Amino acid sequence: MSRILKDKVIRQMMWVSFLFLITGCKSWPTEGLKNGDLLFVTAKESGLSGAINNVTQKQKNASFDHIGILKKEGKSFFVLHAAPKGGSQKQSFKGFMNNQMIHNQDVVLYRLKDDYQPTIPSALAKAESMVGKPYNFNYILDDNSYYCSDFIERAFRDDHIFKLEPMTFIDPKTGKTNAFWEDFYSKRKLKVPEGQLGCNPNGLAASDKLERIKEF
């Protein structure tokens, strides 16, 4: 192994060790958190995250690419969500939050307004029943796999908290299909699902049934 390659490997190992150290020690406050709170993860400016936000952002202060629902069990908190790594899963609150920190993404807490709080127990039960399903990498509705906002919409579907809307992949700046999505579906030999029903984190955050509580 060359000296340059060895130095590169050592630097990578040191960086991984550093991330492990800071994530292992980070403690997230849980005071004020409630069953059924929704955790929205802010979007990045590039890659898949940026592409999702490019065609879905509805509010200047809401730019999200992921969402999970909080569940309290005794004194412990968990996040039920669907992610590319792990599919539909139940993750510790600390693990969920540390993962966002590693990727330099903030989390914003939303809460159902009082009139809709009674829907939370059944939504959490539904979410639990979906744990273990694979992630839907095509972002086209499928009863056997879920993507993040799809997972949450389904959890609350019986109570009609959120609604499915025609999806768009049009870049608002150009009026044409976003190049990322054109390439994304071309590689999968699929037609861009323009107009098909679906949902996204920004659309869910815009619901008048929610109130924005705080940022982490």
pLDDT digits (tens, 9 = 90+) for 30-61: 889 999 999 999 987 655 655 665 666 555 55
Mean pLDDT of 117-138: 98
Burial of 146 (0-12, 13-18, 19+ CB in 10 A): buried
- Pair of tokens at residue 94: 């600390």
User: Is 172 within 8 Å of 55 (Cβ atoms)?
Assistant: yes
- Pair of tokens at residue 146: 């879920």
Q: Angle, to 10 degrees, between the axis of helix 148-155 and the axis of helix 120-130?
A: 130
Residue 121 pLDDT more than 80?
A: yes
pLDDT digits (tens, 9 = 90+) for 130-140: 999 999 999 99
- Pair of tokens at residue 121: 């127990």
pLDDT digits (tens, 9 = 90+) for 169-208: 998 888 999 999 999 999 999 999 999 999 999 999 999 9
- Pair of tokens at residue 11: 């630097």
Of 27 and 78, which is predicted with more confidence?
78
- Pair of tokens at residue 77: 């908190």
Residue written as token pair 């949902």: 199
What pLDDT is stored for residue 44 in this prediction? 73
User: Is 124 within 8 Å of 36 (Cβ atoms)?
Assistant: yes
Residue written as token pair 């879920």: 146
Name which CATH class applies to 29-215. Answer: alpha beta
From the list 162, 170, 171, the residue with the least C-alpha distance to 194 is 170
- Pair of tokens at residue 87: 């599919």
Residue 13 pLDDT more than 80?
A: no
Domains of the chain, by residue range, sit at 29-215
pLDDT digits (tens, 9 = 90+) for 76-118: 999 999 999 999 999 999 999 999 988 888 999 999 999 999 9
Distance CA 112, CA 116 (A): 6
* Positive/negative CA dihedral, 31, 157, 106, 79: positive
Mean pLDDT of 17-39: 73
